[in-house]
Structure 1
Amino acid sequence: MKVAIVGSGPRGLSVLERMAARLAESPVESPVDESPVAESLEIYLIDSHQVGSGRIWRTDQPSWFLMNTVADEVSAFSGQPDGGPARPGAGPSLAQWWSAGDPHCPGPNSYAPRALHGRYMQFVLRTIEENLPEKVRLIPVKATVNTLRRTGDGYLLALEEGAHLTVDRVVLTTGHTTPELTGTQARLAAFAEEHPHLRHIAGDSAADMPLDAVPAGSAVGVLGLGLSFYDVLAAFTEGRGGVFEDDGDGGLVYRPSGREPVIVAGSRSGMPLPARGRNQKHHDHRYDHVLFTTERVLAHSRHGALSFADDALPWLLAEVELVYYAMTLTGRHGPGRAAAFEAEVVAAAENGVPDVVEIAAGYGLGDVPRIDLDEQARPFAGRHFDSPEEFRRALTAAIADDLAHAEAGNVDDPLKAALDVIRDSRAVIRALVDFGGLTPDSHREDFLGWYVQRSSFLAAGPPRTRLRQVRALLDCGVLRIAGPGTRFLPDAASGRFAVHSPYVADSRVLVDTVVDARVPTPDVRLDPHPLTRSLREQGIWTSYVNHGADGGRFDTGGVAVTEAPFHPLDRAGRPDEGLYVLGIPTEHTRWFMQGGSSRPGFWTDFVQNADAIAADVTAPVLTSSAQLAA
């Protein structure tokens, strides 16, 4: 039997690790062969960039590109070390591996460079290969798969390098791609083509953007203030020889190299992505929901398919508020008072969504400002500023406030603890929204249009040091943030790009380069990669359409798949049971498929998904072994 895994980033590696673990576990006592695998198995691990790390995590990228999850919460093994040697199903977390091999490791709550995580993945790959059963062979293939076609009893993969490969099953974990440009970005790119002195750099991983081509001292507009913004900022500063130094007062000072461009950035919010709270949680911490559970939401819903705004969001906000006020009570009066408050809230939930704010007021918390996700995600909404300097003062104050909350920690600080609930609620949300759990309108408007934007802003922040760097760059003038609602437009009169915020007077700046520092939204309909186009043209991949009972529809752009083990559905809705699709291509059919790791200590759905595919892929080999043993 031959199996191909196309894409060897975290998802592909996780499938391989679970396959290896299952193949090493003998389901029977076999007198025929000491190996649990009687039939030979060849596994082709294929990647166009670096086999075992993939493009995003490849080991040759600069060290200034950081992860946004602490190392102690990251593992590519599906089980923790158990006293024996590292092997599939039992191996060290990123933090454990890092600390064992580097005497200068800054500790488990540190944020590792992405290249270092790539090296960890290489260690995991070697561990898998060294522990494969005798009749299983892993074959790394550095190549690009351009087409996939069905044969009589398998699949033919055509590689860009001219080779062909015939296999029985294929696991597609192809990860991030760069979609075709549309809308404003297409107009900006076209304007740059008409003016050779201009540059438009499309959204992608910052390690793959041609940022070195931006001249020192030139004006560059950066669209987006999320995680990719911090990467672009690092490339333009640390990557150009600049140095951040401790100012002796908990902040940073930036010493320019003179090779930096002048950066003018902006976004809808005008606020850089807030920092993650200082981690105070053990790596196997699990938040137990008491209000926002699938059972409560479904029991109180009034529809077949859910309205996210009406049926799910009120329970989620109640859970967020519960943690917020409970942690405030703990800080003021101790855990006993907080426990009594929580018990009263939970009792009230038997009759529907409880009024957590009103109950909190009864505990003396009427003076505590309530959490409003809109205000948190859009801190400057409704405000106008008379000058860029006035906005800069408001921005630096907002950054200082966020850093104070983040430094207090993700347990001790009520706000950061409450916002962590959003992150901890992803699995509950997936159970409610995946595979058309919402009405088409609610899926498009309430969930993707409103909630996902805010949750991405509030629950996926960078390390605290990144926000300190932003403040230092604002102070020295290397960075300017234009303001909320920033617009990036071609300016025919000047032959340059114009950047301005309509809410900040005199904010207009002309720039020669625009960098789209946003993670591209996956959409199978706009993906120009030859493999995706081949699968689409053959009808093997289709875009998932959420059909409503009232005739409404929402074409999501995510690959349509079955539930586990995630076979793609063709144009007639039939599953191809020799193919599996996992991760980013299925985004919007399922939600938050960009998650890149599991946590040590328990199986998240990241590992559960990989194991479901591994179980199905290896079943014929293990069944053959069991039959021979009988």
Structure 2
Amino acid sequence: MHVTLIGAGPRGLVTLERLTERYRLNQEKINITLIDPHGVGGRVWQVEQPHELIMNSNVNFVSLFTDSSVQMNGPVTPGPSLYEWSKTAEAKEFIEDLHFDNEEYLLKELAIIQPNNYASRSLYGTYQKWFYEHLVANLPDNVHLELIKDEVYNVIKSNEQYVVELNNHFFKTDAVVMSLGHIENFPTPEESSFSKFAKKNKLTYVTPTHPQEYDFSDLQAQQTIIIRGLGLSFFDAVTMLTQGRGGHFTREANQQLVYHPSGNEPQIIAGSRRGFPFHGKGTNQKQTNENDQPHFLTANWFAKHTKPGSVSGESFIALVHSEVEYVYYQRLIQMKYSSINQEAFLDEFIKSTDRTEFIQDSLIEPSDYWNWDYVLGHTNTQNSLVEYLIHDYTDAKLGNKTGPFTSAFDMLHDIRDLVRQVVKLELLSPVDYQKYFLNQFKSENSFLSVGPPESRIEELTALISAGIVTVLKPRMQLNANQQTGKFVTFSALDVPTQYSASYLVEARLPAINANKTTSYLIKSLLNSGIVKPYSLKLPGQITYQTGGIVTDKKVKNSGKGLFFWGVPTEGKSWFTTVSPRPNNNDKVFIDADQIAEKIENL
């Protein structure tokens, strides 16, 4: 048996481990080829990247080892989580032996990191390299492993096998597992226009890409840079342009965070359509195996909804919103309303057919009513952006078991597997899936629960106060001024206040769009019919392209032994970018073991 794993990031490495442990037991011979042009860690988790870039998960919430919580058929092979590993002498020795360029930073991080801290991406990349070396050192005699640093350009079905084509050679294999990440697309008409404008006027225009690859070496101190987007890539860019250029923060006697410029910072102008950064993640108070329990998307609810298309989009959104509001009012009562019988209140909240009226009839003050328009940034009830940010990080600091808002946002994390089940069972009709899930829910979920650590929100507040960052009001506009030869930006709500710059960054990852991808591999697979775009059939013979791809046994040239999971399948699946979490029956471990089991049974 020969198996090819394409992609050496977390999912590829977990698949490698699952195959190794299964074949350790059955003692059949297997040859495994792991391929990634960037080597172990893949493109995102390389060790030698800006050390100020951090993960978006607590260090103790990340592991590549299975544990007894995982409901799978394969053997459980425990090992240290990222945090547990970071506290071992072996971690220190591993870093010292490999002499990374950022060795000093990594060793300092090992010395101070705490369970609920956010590790640097460099440290997670180091852990992945150690994990791979750990697997290699413990390979059973019947498993042969080869790592190839190259790009795969095509996979072709050949009788009962597959032909894997690399840059300058090819080989045959019995099974292929593709664990790919975000891949660039051909430019949109606007991006193409901006690129041509930048080239003509000798400007810098950065299209959507991975933030650790931003090269700001040609951006001068005090030079104006426009950043479009206020999500995670925005925070990465700002961190690289401030702390990455020698600036630092201190805390005053009144606990206010203050930024001290190095003098090398540019002038950062940023904005987005919404005009508000993603909400910050709250200080973690939960154990790795601890989640808030659902009260609406329950097992009983799923038992009543088994047929595809049996759930309306409106009711799905209402259920998700109810889960979030339930946690908010639970924490709010605990914190502020001791006179309210919490158990009775929440029981009535679940039963109520008109929750707005129920809340208004309660002892909750109107200023404490949950307001979806406010939390989603649809209204400008706050006096200023800074006040909005202060409220966000203040609540986040209360923790995800105490802060009313941050606990509510965290509930979206805790019900991810339930939402994935809704998607897997296709409980929404194609029309509602497109309108309510792909458009509304995904946007709300990203804004509320996929934001940066609360420390980044507080840092942004300090940077705004220091005059380093200016955030535009909502409805950001961008133009290419042909007369001045500069990019110009402003808010549609404040047209007179405009900023021009010779540097523009699209601060977002490439969209998942199979039909526009620049990937030779995905284009080749689409052309050969091994995979196809995942589309929705809407009324009026309209086909909606989700951007994702799907393998289908009915598709010509497809067959057993081909597995495609992760980012490019987003659309058919949901939220495929997370690293596996220990002690939580994590889906990454489950999926990887199921893939390994199917390969074992070929």
Whether the TM-score (by the shorter chain) exceeds 0.5 is yes
Query: What's 1:11 paired with?
Result: 11
Query: What's 1:396 paired with?
Result: 386
Alpha-carbon distance in 2 for matches of 1:205, 1:435:
32
Q: Which amino acid aligns with 1:195?
A: N
Partner residue of 2:160 out of 140, 153, 157: 153
Partner residue of 2:114 out of 107, 132, 148: 107
Query: What's 2:31 paired with?
Result: 42
Alpha-carbon distance in 1 for matches of 2:396, 2:276:
15
Structure 1 stretch displaced more, 439-448 or 334-343: 334-343
Structure 1 vs Structure 2: percent identity of aligned residues? 29
Query: What's 1:461 paired with?
Result: 451
> Does the CA contact (< 8 Å) of 1:192 and 1:200 recur in 2?
yes
Q: Which amino acid aligns with 2:8?
A: S
Q: CA deviation at 1:504?
A: 2.3
> Does the CA contact (< 8 Å) of 2:23 and 2:142 recur in 1?
no
Q: CA deviation at 1:131?
A: 2.6
Alpha-carbon distance in 2 for matches of 1:242, 1:333:
42
Q: Which amino acid aligns with 1:47?
A: D
Alpha-carbon distance in 1 for matches of 2:375, 2:482:
37
Report SS of the residue matched to 1:580. Answer: strand
Q: CA deviation at 1:549?
A: 7.8
**CA, structure 1 residues 187+372, in 2 after alignment: closer, same or farther (shift >3 Å)?**
farther
Q: CA deviation at 1:401?
A: 0.9
Partner residue of 2:223 out of 218, 240, 245: 218
Matches within 5 A, 1:483-562: 483-548=473-538, 551-561=541-551
> Does the CA contact (< 8 Å) of 2:39 and 2:148 recur in 1?
no
Q: CA deviation at 1:491?
A: 1.2
> Does the CA contact (< 8 Å) of 2:327 and 2:404 recur in 1?
yes
Q: Which amino acid aligns with 2:597?
A: A
Q: CA deviation at 1:436?
A: 4.5
Q: CA deviation at 1:178?
A: 1.0
Alpha-carbon distance in 1 for matches of 2:338, 2:596:
47
Query: What's 2:95 paired with?
Result: none
Query: What's 1:578 paired with?
Result: 561
Query: What's 1:587 paired with?
Result: 570
Report SS of the residue matched to 2:473. Answer: strand
Alpha-carbon distance in 2 for matches of 1:240, 1:366:
46
Query: What's 1:168 paired with?
Result: 174
Q: CA deviation at 1:546?
A: 2.0
Query: What's 1:433 paired with?
Result: 423
Query: What's 1:340 paired with?
Result: 344
> Does the CA contact (< 8 Å) of 1:66 and 1:111 recur in 2?
yes
Q: CA deviation at 1:123?
A: 1.8
Query: What's 1:415 paired with?
Result: 405
Alpha-carbon distance in 2 for matches of 1:136, 1:308:
49
Report SS of the residue matched to 2:83. Answer: helix
Q: CA deviation at 1:306?
A: 5.0
Matches within 5 A, 1:301-380: 304-306=308-310, 309-332=313-336, 337-346=341-350, 348=351, 354-361=353-360, 363-367=362-366, 369-378=368-377, 380=379
> Does the CA contact (< 8 Å) of 1:276 and 1:460 recur in 2?
yes
Report SS of the residue matched to 1:554. Answer: strand
**Paired positions, count:** 579
Q: CA deviation at 1:602?
A: 2.7
Alpha-carbon distance in 2 for matches of 1:366, 1:477:
37
Alpha-carbon distance in 2 for matches of 1:569, 1:66:
40
> Does the CA contact (< 8 Å) of 2:313 and 2:428 recur in 1?
no
Alpha-carbon distance in 2 for matches of 1:335, 1:11:
49
* Ranges in structure 2 where 5+ consecutive residues have no aligned partner: 70-74, 92-106
Deviations 1:117-144 (A, max 9, x none): 0111112212222232211011111111
> Does the CA contact (< 8 Å) of 2:359 and 2:369 recur in 1?
no
> Does the CA contact (< 8 Å) of 1:175 and 1:585 recur in 2?
yes
Query: What's 1:626 paired with?
Result: none
Q: Which amino acid aligns with 1:93?
A: S
Report SS of the residue matched to 1:582. Answer: strand
Matches within 5 A, 1:15-94: 15-24=15-24, 26=25, 36-37=26-27, 39-51=28-40, 53-79=41-67, 89-94=77-82
Structure 1 stretch displaced more, 401-410 or 504-513: 504-513
> Does the CA contact (< 8 Å) of 1:47 and 1:144 recur in 2?
yes
> Does the CA contact (< 8 Å) of 1:42 and 1:138 recur in 2?
yes
> Does the CA contact (< 8 Å) of 2:314 and 2:436 recur in 1?
no
> Does the CA contact (< 8 Å) of 1:321 and 1:357 recur in 2?
no
Q: TM-score, normalised by structure 1?
A: 0.86
2:233 is equivalent to residue 228 of structure 1: yes
Q: CA deviation at 1:288?
A: 1.8
Alpha-carbon distance in 1 for matches of 2:419, 2:298:
9
Q: CA deviation at 1:509?
A: 0.5
Q: Which amino acid aligns with 2:471?
A: I
> Does the CA contact (< 8 Å) of 1:318 and 1:356 recur in 2?
no
Report SS of the residue matched to 2:5. Answer: strand
Q: CA deviation at 1:552?
A: 4.9
Q: Which amino acid aligns with 1:41?
A: I
> Does the CA contact (< 8 Å) of 2:531 and 2:558 recur in 1?
no
